[in-house]
Amino acid sequence: MVYLKAMQTSMVYPRFLEDEADVGVVCPRFAVLSAPMAPTVSWGGGTEAGPAAILEASTALEVFDDELLQETVQAGIVTRPPLPLAGHDLTDDCRLIKEAVSRELAAGLFPVLLGGEHTVSGPAVAAMQEQYPDLHVVQVDAHLDLRDAYSGTPLSHACVMRRVAELGVNFSQVGIRSFSAEEWQLVQQHGWQPYTMARIHQQPDWLEQLQGEINGPVYLTIDVDGLDPAIMPATGTPEPDGLSWRQVTALIRMLTAIKPGLVGLDVVELAPRPGQEHAAFTAAKLIYRTMGYIAAKEVAATHGHGPKQV
């Protein structure tokens, strides 16, 4: 919270990878945006500090990727100043997020949005849909987030996928292991088939099944509580079980390998906790690894490194 207060009065803010991002790329590939929105969080708070924690943790990353054997940073990464969200007007804040994502798309950059609560994904998806009408959203999450309203607002983090569904966007949900009776009834009514953790454990070919559902560019939204709390304890609503590091990276590797692949990403719901600093580092490395999968061919062509076969 001390950092966030300082951020409101100073133009100094962390950048993804800090000085190591200064590689002189004229046309960067990725733009990192911060949307520290958190007015509707439930149970454990603190997600407003998530973007800054991820950016700060990224400075400890090795820029040479240990799996891909490349310096992904050579593709070019720029970090934008945090969005000036008011915090008291959800509709206005969502408008600012949509406009910011739209600007990056118009400039030809791949948007990487850091939340804040999961509400930030709704306006991001709306911006992506305008650019990609056949967009498919893949949600990594412990929760379905399909409530019509929660705590008196339809813009709650618990409602974000309900709002995405109302946009007419196709979506798949991965890592699910917590939901209400109302949400499950909605799933059954629509014939949706989320990849619950029970299903993932029971069906070793779940990735192949998921791949078969996707027919268009993919926007990936990662609520960090979709990961196992053993590697991601710092979140407001942790749930037992969850995706392992290997499972989530295998998912992302698949999404970047299919055509046309990933076109946007957000990582949300990190709530920094004292003694759990590794969670922010894990989120930062997951983002950098995702960038690596996306830019592997262009980095190899320009700098002579090739991805490791896995």
Q: Is 89 annotated as a binding residue?
A: no
Residues 170 and 192: their CA atoms lie apart, in Å, by: 10
Per the listing, tokens 């007007």 go with: 89
Q: Is 223 annotated as a binding residue?
A: yes
Q: Is 303 annotated as a binding residue?
A: no
Structure-block tokens of residue 228: 């196992």
Alpha helices in the chain (DSSP H): 2-7, 50-58, 90-106, 121-131, 160-166, 181-190, 197-202, 206-213, 245-257, 277-303
Helices 277-303 and 50-58: crossing angle in degrees, nearest 10, is 50
Question: What 3-state DSSP class applies to 255?
Answer: helix
Structure-block tokens of residue 27: 């046309």
Q: Is 266 annotated as a binding residue?
A: no
Residues 159 and 147: their CA atoms lie apart, in Å, by: 5
Q: Is 134 annotated as a binding residue?
A: no
Residues making up the annotated binding site are 118, 141, 143, 145, 223, 225
Residues making up the annotated binding site for Mn(2+) are 118, 141, 143, 145, 223, 225
